[in-house]
A and B are shown apart, each in its own frame.
Chain A
Amino acid sequence: MANKSPQIPNIAELMDKIKSGKIFSEIAKEITESQLWTSSFRHGYADTPRNRVLQIASNVWLHLHPVKMHRHALRIKFTWCMGGITFLLFLSTVVTGVILMFYYRPVGEYAYYDMKYLQYDVPFGMLMRNMHRWAAHAMVITVWLHMFRVFLTGSYKPPRELNWVIGVFLVTFTLLLSFTGYLLPWDQLAMWAVTVGTNMARATPFLGNEGPFAEFVGVTPRYDARALLIGGSLVGPPALLRFYVLHCIFIPLIAGALMIVHFWRIRKDGGISGPL
């Protein structure tokens, strides 16, 4: 083959190859028989049932999947793909978030200027920040849609009750992740949105200084549920540090662990729900 002199391609023949799909197998053959390929992969992949099972079972990244599944569970019309997209968006925030952490310091004096630095001086800093923020917002929407679809298909019914409960924890943690991240840019939007949000803790019955029955407990503005949350009586540097730790370590670890349990349970509950 290599010795053949180059030919002027015959258009009709070429169209024929494209139409019949033969062109793909020819290209695949060219590639897999090249020296570069054969030196990297010593043997081919035989598409046998055994190998299909092994691809899943012996791969650390894929093995949370079952090896076989119901045909109907593949239908996008059924799942809307929303659970998977939520997970993918979570992974995107993890990757972009780690990159942002290299440049960001959760300190009152620095935080805002680190954001400016990220945006104007760090190569691709603005893009990383945009991707992180938009993925986070999108994740909030997709998790709501996922929950909506799970409700509409009645997939929380036995035997999947517990996975629904885990899901409610996940949606709560998704919102908390987004909320704690909201403070980190340390701009006006951040500070006041979080002030409005955390002011609610002040009204916690018994435990907030303005909440009902607080006078029986004796909490003060400096020592109540809200102060515990933000480390003071107003949203200041201690709140920034607390939210940073919650946002980058505590909540992602818990949410990540719960996601693994969530996926495991899907498998153990008999795969994606479907009409019996």
Chain B
Amino acid sequence: MAEAASPKKKIEEVPEKLHVWPYLVRLEFLCALVVIIALAVWSIVIDAPLEEAANPTKTPNPSKAPWYFLGLQDILVYFDPWFAGVVAPVLIIVGLMLIPYLDVNPKGNGYYTYHERKVAIWVYCFGFLVLWIALIIMGVFLRGPGWNLFMPWQYWDPHKVVALVNVDLPYAFGFRDYTWSAIFGGGVLLAYFGIGTGAYFFMERKALKSVGFLRMFLKIQLALIMIGIVIKIVLRIGFNIKYIMVTPWISV
């Protein structure tokens, strides 16, 4: 940046530490002024929505959660509610809280850098911009009646019929017996997590000493779950696969 390139002279002129009063306080004041004016103008121009009175006997189609949860609601297409509505949010919250304890890269603390922490930035941007923001945008604008996908120029036809042609993964592989299907599906899941974890530990074996086993283990589990969500979406859209594993109690 310009500061780094210019000689030291400039830095000596202005002291490194400044008084909060007036430098920060006046900035906060100006910023507050701009935000409050913007908010007031916005509120004068656009009215908050108020529909007809609540009516428990009249379910709108589509029924949508508030917009900031539509990413999760969209995951419901691909996962059962126990995962999309309960386990996924908990994993997101816990996973976010773990970030400072899992990311042991000392570089890039307090300044913008892409080169010193490429993986971290890619993972966060993918999770935030694609899995969270893009799904919200899709949920707000493209999901119509029956939670079917409509392009912006298409009419939201409440009678649109979408053929249910999904099959479970064990079925696609020729398993017809419940027990064997469950064992096959469970095996696929175990293999996914097992091989993924094993491969990661093998590739990063040199880092094991410095990073620590627990850190690496948690890191790869969270990563595998995130990738797994993407895989499941691709399997559903591309290959009409409904569940990977089916049991009487829980299906994934």
Physical interaction between A and B: yes
Chain B residues positioned under 8 Å from A112 (CB to CB): 53-54
Contact B86 A67 (CB under 8 A): no
Shortest CB distance A110–B (Å): 11
Shortest CB distance B112–A (Å): 6
Shortest CB distance A115–B (Å): 6
Check if B164 is an interface residue, CB within 8 A of chain A: no
Contact B110 A275 (CB under 8 A): yes
Q: Tell which of B21-29, B149-157, B187-195 binds the partner.
A: B21-29
Contact B54 A157 (CB under 8 A): no
Contact A152 B121 (CB under 8 A): yes
Interface centre among A70, A175, A191, A192 (most CB of B within 10 A): A192
Shortest CB distance B66–A (Å): 5
Contact A168 B22 (CB under 8 A): no
Chain B residue at minimum C-beta to C-beta distance from A47: B22
Chain B residues positioned under 8 Å from A188 (CB to CB): 51-55, 58, 60
> What is the CA–CA distance of A253 and B122 in the complex, to the nearest angstrom?
36
Q: Mark B54-77, 1 if CB is under 8 A from A, else 0.
A: 111011100111101100110000
For window 14-35 of chain B, which residues contact chain A by CB distance below 8 Å? Answer: 14-25, 27-28, 31-32, 35
> What is the CA–CA distance of A26 and B194 in the complex, to the nearest angstrom?
77
Contact A193 B53 (CB under 8 A): no
Contact A85 B82 (CB under 8 A): no
Chain A residues positioned under 8 Å from B20 (CB to CB): 52, 56, 62, 65-69
Q: Mark A191-215, 1 if CB is under 8 A from B, else 0.
A: 1110111011111110010111100
Contact A195 B18 (CB under 8 A): no
Q: Tell which of B93-101, B213-221, B230-238 binds the partner.
A: B93-101
Check if B7 is an interface residue, CB within 8 A of chain A: no
> What is the CA–CA distance of A78 and B24 in the complex, to the nearest angstrom?
14
Candidates A126, A190, A203; contact of B86 at CB < 8 Å:
A203
Q: Tell which of B39-47, B167-175, B196-204 binds the partner.
A: B39-47
Check if A263 is an interface residue, CB within 8 A of chain B: no
Contact B19 A68 (CB under 8 A): yes
Chain B: interface size category: 35 or more
Contact B63 A65 (CB under 8 A): no
Candidates A53, A76, A160, A212; contact of B82 at CB < 8 Å:
A212
Contact A157 B100 (CB under 8 A): yes
A residues adjacent to B (C-beta < 8 A): 49, 52-53, 55-56, 62, 65-71, 73-74, 76, 78, 81, 84-85, 88-89, 92, 112, 115-116, 119, 126-127, 129-135, 138, 140, 144, 148, 151-158, 160-161, 164-165, 168, 171-172, 175, 178-179, 182, 185-193, 195-197, 199-205, 208, 210-213, 234-236, 273-276
Q: List 30 A-B contacts (CB under 8 A).
A: A55-B21, A67-B20, A68-B18, A71-B15, A74-B23, A74-B27, A76-B27, A88-B32, A127-B44, A131-B39, A131-B40, A140-B68, A154-B111, A155-B109, A156-B99, A157-B109, A160-B100, A164-B100, A168-B96, A178-B66, A187-B50, A188-B51, A192-B63, A193-B65, A195-B63, A197-B65, A200-B85, A201-B86, A203-B80, A203-B81
